[in-house]
């Protein structure tokens, strides 16, 4: 007997966590006046952290829902790794959030609203994703490597300190 997506328990669990992310996003808009983004961080089927977009609170442009959830989880754990975790986000993660997920070792991400869904409302980062596909010299943001002789010593000092710990 084959299972449809509606009968698949794993799909039902994904939908449950995505529904929670959407609920957080809606509450953020309605009760806090924030942007419509919520995120749920899950490990082994349990929610370990949640976040909403907090840019409206203090102007911190890194206050994205996914980063807020990851920040809470890593601070509580006292270490920056989130291996084996899944993020459920109300919207398609921006490149900053996606990069943080890679850096933290997040295993999967599911999102409820696409870039196309957000585009009419100015809530898409598709243009940044496109920009990042260009070679550095063709991007709008100027980026140049200007080596200083003392620069690499910082890395050696960090490694030496890490080796002593």
Burial degree of 50 (CB within 10 A; 0-12, 13-18, 19+):
buried
Q: Which helix (H) or strand (E) holds 103?
A: helix 95-104
> HSE (CB half, 13 Å, CA atoms) of 67?
15
| Residue among 23, 32, 66, 79 flagged as catalytic | 66
What length does the chain have?
165
Q: Is 68 a catalytic residue?
A: no
Q: Which residues contact 61 (CB under 8 A, 6 or more apart)?
A: 55
**Catalytic positions, please?**
66
């Amino acid at each position: 007997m084959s299972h449809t997506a509606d009968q698949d328990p794993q799909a039902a669990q994904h939908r449950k966590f995505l529904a929670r992310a959407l609920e957080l996003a809606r509450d953020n808009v309605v009760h806090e006046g924030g942007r419509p983004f919520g995120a749920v961080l899950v490990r082994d089927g349990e929610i370990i952290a949640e976040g909403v977009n907090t840019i409206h609170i203090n102007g911190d442009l890194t206050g994205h829902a996914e980063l807020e959830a990851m920040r809470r989880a890593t601070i509580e754990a006292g270490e920056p790794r989130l291996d084996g975790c899944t993020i459920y986000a109300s919207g398609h993660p921006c490149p900053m959030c996606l990069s943080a997920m890679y850096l933290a070792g997040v295993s999967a991400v599911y999102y409820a609203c696409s870039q196309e869904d957000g585009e009419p409302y100015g809530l898409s980062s598709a243009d940044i994703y496109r920009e990042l596909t260009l070679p550095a010299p063709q991007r709008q943001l100027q980026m140049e490597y200007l080596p200083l002789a003392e620069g690499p010593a910082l890395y050696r000092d960090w490694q030496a300190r890490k080796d002593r710990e």
